[in-house]
Each structure stands twice: as structure tokens, then as C-alpha cells.
Amino acid sequence: MTTTVTDGVSRLFPDGVLVTDPDIVATYAVDQSRLTSRGQPWAVASPRDTDEVAACLRVAHAHRIPVVTRGAGSGLSGGANAPDGSVVLSTHRMDRVLEIDVADRVAVVQPGVVTGRLRDAVAERGLFYPPDPGSVAFSTIGGNIATNAGGMCCLKYGVTGDFVRALEVVLADGSVMRTGTRTRKGVAGLDLTRLFVGSEGSLAVITEATVRLLPAPGPALTLVATFGSLAAAGRAIAAVQAAGVDLSLLELLDRTTVGAIEASTPLGFDPGVAAVLLAQSDADTSPEQLARAATLLRSTGAVDVMAAEDAQEAGLLLEARRRALPALEALGDWLLDDVCVPPSRIVDLIAGIEEIAARVGLTIGVFGHVGDGNMHPTVIYDAQSASSTAAARTAFDDITGLALSLGGTITGEHGVGRLKTAWLERELDPVALRLQADLKRTVDPRGILNPGSVIAPAHPTST
């Protein structure tokens, strides 16, 4: 984009929305991913409402300017990394909870609302918004919807998309569209709401979401168990799930992750612990459920099984789990994977990761949502060393390939972004890939929305 064109285009955006100062723009250029492609965007647009989003996209569409939508920038797959000459469309000004309807159990929110803030707001009304990503304190609803984020409560409650009833979106040419209904049922036409959930900003910009809520559950009870080996923990996980214990959360931390957490937030775990399982139940029969879980864990090799004595202790355990990645950062540079396998293959995945770590000669911390098979192996390496970086890439690819070979998927909740676009051809068949490209071309004929991410770019047309 030439300076002359840039000056002319700048004046077409709504007043007070566009920032082109290179130093400011650079702070919006990337998310938290590693080893992903990134460029230098031209500007940041911060619209205040749907009309201003539509106005921004009309300008971008007319002048073929790439647009990357950004929430909190907390993504881990490069989905918010901006290419050269693009506009980053930040939703941070669109941060209002518009409505909480207690009777219909729905909330209407703008995309920039922080997820934890929504959870707190509905809790004050005796309601519950279950999606609980590890970044709940700072990630936004729009970003959660764009990646179909999961979290620790997925075992019982499902992912973000399971709670999205309706959306307002702006298409690439500035057209505004509403999808879905606020009713429990609605099958009028194709389910376009689900089309946009998980599309990572490649099909439209989400400007409003109607999400369903649940009655607030009772106090949750928490159990922690330690194991002498990852294999023993895997067997215990399989036994608990096969028995149908009603758990809302089942998380695993391996030896490396536990050690990293202990170094930053001491919890008193023995240095010899190979794995820690956290289990929680918010069922009406939670004491009985956790008693069943404890019996199964002991019978399958747990070294120690302990119940949290009170809500404060339980909160500390869950906060320690949320600190898994920040704690691992202290060990060196990191490359975090996000794979999901059938729960019955968790033991095979864990064993395979151990073999990969030994083969490439790097430390790999393993933690994640074992209840639904979604793990986050984190490769620790030295970014200043070419050989170490190459080994990290090899480990990352080997882990992703392992997940596919076990009947799993290349990403459970972080999205494809720019980190895993090359893997789509491994997971999806040619017909699925062609259909996705066709859908992209239909709603974004000039290919301006998040080009190079998620979906093969649409072929430009003269439209």
C-alpha cells in the first residue's frame, strides 16, 4: 500500500477509530503463539459498535485490505497474527454485557467482554456460564467463540459453541447478519451460527453473541491424587471414566509441570511425583461421586488421594492448574501443542509423548483436560539454538501426528491459526477442504478476512 493510498484510505474510516502510529500498531501485531508467521500491519481499527465495524469492513473490502480480528491477543496458534499491510480490528471497545435474562437463561454480550467478567455477572443473578478456558481471566467471549474454546469444565458441560444460541456478524463487504435464535429450539434453515463458531475470523467479524446460561450448581468438591508414573495415571483416568463417575473436571499435570508449578507456587507435592490428577464434582451427589473416584484411583495405583478441605484449598489447586503454562515458561522457551484424542487412547498418547521427548532430547511438560482427551504437551527448547529449535519443531510435529494416528484431531480448542494450516490436509479429506474453500469464497470473495489462517485463501475475484 503506497503512502498516497494510505493517506486517502485513512480518511474513509470512522472518526476516532483508526491508529497508524507504527509503535502502537506493532503491539497489536501478534498473539502469544510461537514459531508462527507474522508481519507488520498498517493500522489498528478499534470500532465502538456494529455500525463502525461494518464501515471499517466496507473500506477494507473496497480497497482489498486484509483484516485480522483481535480480542485479547491471548491465542496460541497465530490466528491473530497480522500480515503485512493489514488492518487489525480490535474489539476491546465493544465490551458491554447488554442483557442478562434470568427467565430465558440467556445473556447478550459484545465480543470484547472478558469471559471471567461474564461468569461473575451471571453468577450474581444465580446463573452459570460454564465455558472456563485457562485464560478465563483475560480472554474475551468473541475470541472464545472464534476458536470454539474449551477449558477445564468441558468434561461435563462442553465447549463454548455448545452455549452459543445466536450471533450478529459482519461479513467482509460490511453486510450485517443475524444468525440463530434465543430460543432453545430453532431449525429454520441451515445452522449458520455453528458455521461461524470456530471460524477464527476467517468468515466474518462477530459483533454480538447470545449465549445460554444454566442454573448455578452447588458448591463443587475437589480431589487430588498423585501417581508414581504417567502410565498409572492413565489407567486411573480410564477406570474413572469407564465407571461413569459424575465429574465436572478431570485434569492432569505431569512431573515436569508439577515441578515448575512448585517452583513458583509451592503446594507441597513430593519431588518424586510423576503425575497429579485433579478431579472435581458439582453434582448434587458430589460426596458420593468423589468417594467412588477416590476408591477407583487408589485401586489403580494412586500413591496418595486427598480431598480439598475447603473451597479456599480447592481454589488454590485449580489456580495452580491454570498456572501450568506460565510456570513452564520459567524452564526456557516453549512451544505448546493442543491435541485431542479419544479418552480411551490417553495412555497411548502419554506414552508416545514420553518416547518423543527421549528421541529429540528435549523436556516436554504434559498437562491438560484428560477427561475429554484434550492435552497440551509443551516442548521446552532454546530459541537461540538452531538445533534446539529444529528439535522442538520435530517434537511438535511428531506429537500432532501421533494424535491423528490415535484417531484424534490436530487441535481441540486453540484453533488452527497459522500454526497448523499445513496439517489440515492430513486431517481433512479433499472434498472437505474444497468445500471449506468454497464457503470462504462465498462469504469473503476477495479473501480479506484473516488471509493465510485456518482456511485455504479464497481465489480473488473481480467482485
Q: Are 337 and 420 part of one and the same domain? A: yes
Please tell me the distance from the alpha carbon of residue 143 to that of residue 112, in angstroms, as a whole number. Answer: 8
In a domain, 454, yes or no: no
In a domain, 452, yes or no: no
Tell me the pTM. 0.93
Q: Are 106 and 83 part of one and the same domain? A: no
Q: Are 325 and 261 part of one and the same domain? A: yes
Bridge partners, 367 (sequence order) = 253
Q: Are 338 and 325 part of one and the same domain? A: no
Q: Are 270 and 374 part of one and the same domain? A: no
Q: Are 123 and 13 part of one and the same domain? A: no
Please tell me the distance from the alpha carbon of residue 377 to that of residue 362, in angstroms, as a whole number. Answer: 12
Q: Are 113 and 46 part of one and the same domain? A: no
Q: Are 211 and 227 part of one and the same domain? A: no
Boundaries of domain holding 170:
97-215
Q: Are 274 and 362 part of one and the same domain? A: no
The DSSP symbol for 201 reads T
In a domain, 42, yes or no: yes
In a domain, 406, yes or no: yes
Q: Read off the C-alpha cell for 86.
A: 493489514
In a domain, 449, yes or no: no
In a domain, 36, yes or no: yes
Q: How many domains does the chain have?
A: 4
pLDDT in tens, the chain (463 residues): 544 457 789 999 999 999 999 999 999 999 999 999 889 999 999 999 999 999 999 999 999 999 999 999 999 999 999 999 999 999 999 999 999 999 999 999 999 999 999 999 999 999 999 999 988 999 999 999 999 999 888 999 999 999 999 999 999 999 999 999 999 999 999 999 999 999 999 999 999 999 999 999 988 899 999 999 888 898 899 899 899 999 999 999 999 999 999 988 888 888 889 999 999 999 999 999 999 999 999 999 999 999 887 778 888 888 888 888 889 999 999 999 999 999 889 889 988 999 999 999 999 999 999 999 999 999 999 999 999 999 999 999 999 999 999 999 999 999 999 999 999 999 999 999 999 999 999 999 999 999 999 885 433 443 4
Q: Are 13 and 108 part of one and the same domain? A: no
Q: Are 50 and 71 part of one and the same domain? A: yes
Please tell me the distance from the alpha carbon of residue 107 to that of residue 280, in angstroms, as a whole number. Answer: 26
Q: Which of 192, 215, 238 is the last residue of a domain?
A: 215
Please tell me the distance from the alpha carbon of residue 62 to that of residue 290, in angstroms, as a whole number. Answer: 59
Q: Which of 296, 329, 362 is the last residue of a domain?
A: 329
Please tell me the distance from the alpha carbon of residue 319 to that of residue 119, in angstroms, as a whole number. Answer: 16
Give the DSSP letter string of 306-372. Answer: EE-SSHHHHHHHHHHHHTHHHHHHTTSEEEE--EE--GGGHHHHHHHHHHHHHHHT-EEE-EEEGGG
Q: SS3 sequence, 16-76?
A: CCEECCHHHHHCCCCCCCCCCCCCCCCEEECCCCHHHHHHHHHHHHHCCCCEEEECCCCCC
Is-contact 408 342, C-beta < 8 A?
Answer: yes
Q: Are 230 and 318 part of one and the same domain? A: yes
Q: What is the CATH number of the domain that holds 79?
A: 3.30.43.10
In a domain, 368, yes or no: yes
Identify the residue whose cell numbers are 474449551.
150
Q: Which of 92, 112, 135 is the last residue of a domain?
A: 92
Q: What is the CATH number of the domain that holds 231?
A: 3.30.70.2190
In a domain, 450, yes or no: no
